[in-house]
Amino acid sequence: MNGTTDQPGAGRYAPSPSGDLHIGNLRTAILAWAFARSEAKRFVLRAEDLDRVAEGAQQRQLRDLASIGIDWDPPVLQQSQREDHHRAAVAELTARGLTYECYCTRREVQAEIAAAGGAPHGAPGAYPGTCRDLTEAQRRERRRHRPPAVRLRTDGSPATIRDRVFGNVTALVDDMVLLRNDGRPAYNLAVVLDDAFQGVDQVVRGDDLLTSAPRQSYLARLLDLPPVDYIHVPLVVNDDGRRLAKRDGAVTLEDLYAAGCSLPEVMGWIGRSLGLGDTVRSAAEVLAGIDRVHLTGGPWVFRPPVHSPGSAGATTAR
């Protein structure tokens, strides 16, 4: 399954429009943009709107990206508009005998893995294969109680990707969900197909998604889609080491402005977290210094300011 554009390669940023972007999201977006532009690639945006969508969030995200100096090649793709293409890919895999119906809930999967003392099929924490070999009569019986999801049938073999920050990353590929039991495309399927459709050959994103890359690469090969160059970057975390979230206080641009912080200060914090010093004032300056960006020092611990205009000391990078 091809489905790719004939345009030059591209980098991308693909947020979910479920809320405003926080400073960690903006930092990743700047890096994705800077890596793409430094290699003369297009830069595209995609709204991954298959799940929860907050009213007005996408417009505010685009506003904030533009305000920090990021430009993009239109149009902004709405992922939900491609659901027919996602389902067509699953139909192709099904015709090749590479899918099966799954009736397990997430709680049931977790319980079975725990009872088995690990994953009896595939990677640790992976789907244990409960529904892989059901008979037609068993499937009919289960359909009476709940609609099925559709999973990819794999042999649990490992897949390897090359990441610019982490080097070779190998993981066993499990029977991932392709279509959820509500009929909607699952993340791993949609992201692979939509990257190919947009001509994306460079994926810059948070390193919390690093372990998903081998399974996505495996799926892309099954669908005869081109490989991508991965760059997984350290997350921005709070003092407890958890991913930054709205609950951590002033973390969005709007909240930081309300706390008395200026955009140059925010950009200075981001620049310092990348090893470029705190004189950075725009995404263009990150682009200019992309060869000096430091991405191997672990997560950036961000401490939101409480009051304070000019509180540049409110963050710590480590």
pLDDT at 115: 76
Q: How far apart are CA 244 and CA 237, in angstroms?
A: 5
Mean pLDDT of the chain: 90
Q: How far apart are CA 294 and CA 208, in angstroms?
A: 18
**Quick count: other Cβ atoms within 10 Å of Cβ 95?**
9
Domain ranges of the chain: 82-232, 234-318
pLDDT band at 125 (very low <50, low <70, confident <90, very high): low
pLDDT band at 5 (very low <50, low <70, confident <90, very high): very low
Among 194, 222, 263, which Cα is nearest to 12's? 194
Classify residue 160 as left (phi > 0), alpha (psi -120 to 50) or beta: beta
Average pLDDT, integer, range 158-178: 95
pLDDT at 310: 43
pLDDT band at 76 (very low <50, low <70, confident <90, very high): very high
What torsion do the CA atoms of 207, 209, 212, 218 make, to the nearest 10 degrees? -70
Q: Please write the tens of the pLDDT for every residue from 282-301.
A: 999 999 999 999 999 899 99
Q: How far is CA 131 from the centre of its chain?
A: 28
List b or e across 113-129, with b for residues whose CB sees 16 or more CB atoms inside 10 angstroms.
beeeeebebbbeebbbb
3-class SS of residue 179: strand
DSSP assignment letter at 187? H
Average pLDDT, integer, range 87-109: 95
The pTM of the full predicted model, rounded to 2 decimals, is: 0.90
**Quick count: other Cβ atoms within 10 Å of Cβ 309?**
10
Lowest mean per-residue pLDDT among 68-77, 95-104, 194-203, 296-305: 296-305
**Position 130, amino acid:** T
What top-level class would CATH report for the domain 82-232?
alpha beta
> 39 pLDDT exceeds 70?
yes
